[in-house]
Amino acid sequence: MKEICKKISHVLKTIFGYGIMVTLFAGGLTFFGYVAALIIGGDVATAICTVIYKDIIPVIIYVSVIMVLLGLVAMYLAGEKALTPEKKHAHKHEGEV
């Protein structure tokens, strides 16, 4: 059962990686859209900003939320524990008492 979970986790991590990469790239492209609108100005700039804000950004947000959920499921299936404190034994140096 652990092997199956690890294989599923590996596939989900791959999907997560590519999905997050695409959403970050799309988010960066929206920045350039806003810069282009700033340079163009006028009614065209308003239309560009409206399309970016109302049509593109909500899709980016939904896709990124789905990718984060896939990443969390992949971590759970792999048995990884991220952002949890671990007790580490302090190692004393030779000169310390």
The structure tokens listed for 69 are: 């959920």
Q: Among 8-12, 21-25, 74-78, 87-91, which is the least confidently predicted range? A: 87-91
List C-alpha distances in Å: 18 to 21, 29, 44, 55, 97.
5, 16, 33, 22, 51
What is the value of pTM for the model shown?
Answer: 0.72
Tens digit of each residue's pLDDT (9 = 90 or more) over 8-54: 888 889 999 999 999 999 999 999 999 999 999 899 999 999 999 99
